[in-house]
Each structure stands twice: as structure tokens, then as C-alpha cells.
Amino acid sequence: MKPSENYLSLLEEIDKLKSLYSINYDIEVVVVTKYSSVEEIEDLLKNSKVKHIGENRVQEAEKKFSYLSSKNLLEGVKKHMLGPIQSNKINKVIKLFDFVHSIENLKIPEELLKRNYQGEMLVEVKTSEEVTKHGIPPTLVIDFFGNLISKGITVSGLMTMAPLTNDEIKISKCFETLRKLKEKVENEYKIKLKYLSMGMSNDYKIAIKEGANVLRIGSLIFRKK
């Protein structure tokens, strides 16, 4: 199947799950292009009404977004930075991305705002014990938001990655932790967080059940079968 056909099937499955769980809010799909060629992405954008795409590395985003823009395929498409940000890439991030999902310290949002970044920022939380995962420990999230607010920094939501496992209970626990943290932050500081970014190709169904409204899907769309 083509990426556009996989994407349509995914949207249909999401609609079924929304009906199953009586969900009445929008669930956005960020198409992750990390392992995809520009030709594959071009085919998808030409044949589907994609609203969001995401990349993990600034260098890859530069190349892919430049090519796709030259084909007039990114008009109206929101671009998401999903990976960690190096300080020397801040200026490029501002030019390239509408969303940053990987805020895990105060320095990056401070530097973004110094340069008048107008996009959305999400705090990344490390809800699993995998050493390769990034993010703030759940126990520090409330205080971290206090520091953000004291500095006048507004963020739009939370993001996490579940462990790579077939244990659905472990995956569900990670997503439940993030949802409950969102509720705690909102109650503690009387703010509203718009986005709960969790769930990827292998676990998005669990994420939807636990309250995700942003999914980051790559291999399920660009699979070669």
C-alpha cells in the first residue's frame, strides 16, 4: 500500500477508536518523516490532506522541508521538532518548526523566546525507565512548570515516549502517568494545557485510550509492505 493509503486507513482506525471510547475531541496525527525519503513524503503530501509532519533532526528537516516547499507541498502544514535540541541549532529551529515537543530544561525555551519564537512548546517527560529516553522525571514536572511560569514561559502541553515493549500494561502506565501529570499541572497553576502528545505506530491505540490528542506516527504510514 502507498503511504497515502496507509494514512487514510490510520485516520479511519482513529475514528473507530474515538467512537469506541466516546471521544469528542480532535486527535491530530503528526506524520513522522525520520526514516522516509523525500519522494515518499512527496507522494503522501500530494495525495493526502496531511496537517502535521515531524522530524527528529534539524539537518534532516532542513533538507526535506526545503525540497517539499519547492514543490509547494508544505502550505498549511504544521512542522514539529520531535528530537532534542542543541543550543547551536536554536536559530534554525525557529525558522523551521511550528511546534517543539522536546523541552526538558529551562535553557532551550529561554533561548527560543529571546529570539521571538512564536510556535508551540511541549515539555517532554520521561515516564519510562529506559535509559535512551529523554525528558524530565515525573516527580520534577510540577516544580519545572513553576519555574517556567515564574520566567513568563508558556508551554502548550506534555509529551512522552513509552518503552519499546509488548507489555501493554507498562505502556498504558506511562501514558496514564502523563495524563495525570497534565491534570496536576492544570490544577496546581490554574492553566490549560492543550496537547497530550503520546503514542506512536506500535502503541497509538493505547495512547488514545489514555487520552492522547497528538499522535506521532511514522513506520505505520511509510511501511514498505
List, for residues 133-163, the tens digit of each pLDDT value: 789 999 999 999 999 999 999 999 999 999 9
- Confidence class of residue 36 from pLDDT cuts 50, 70 and 90? very high
Q: Please provide the DSSP assignment of 52-93 as one string.
A: EEEES-HHHHHHHHHHHHHTT--TT-EEEE-S---GGGHHHH
- What's the number of domains the chain is made of? 1
Q: Is the pLDDT of residue 105 over 70?
A: yes
pLDDT at 1: 83
CA distance 170 to 65: 35
- CATH code at 110? 3.20.20.10
pLDDT at 164: 87
Strand, coil or helix: 191: coil
- Confidence class of residue 48 from pLDDT cuts 50, 70 and 90? very high
Mean pLDDT of 15-38: 96
Residues 24 and 30 sit within 8 Å (Cβ to Cβ): no
DSSP letter for 144, please. Answer: H
Per-residue cell: 203 = 502503541
Mean pLDDT of 204-222: 97
pLDDT at 148: 97
Per-residue cell: 159 = 509529551
State the average pLDDT for the chain.
95
Higher pLDDT pick, 57 / 1 = 57
Bridge pairing between strands 28-32 and 214-217: parallel
- Range(s) of the domain holding residue 213: 3-222
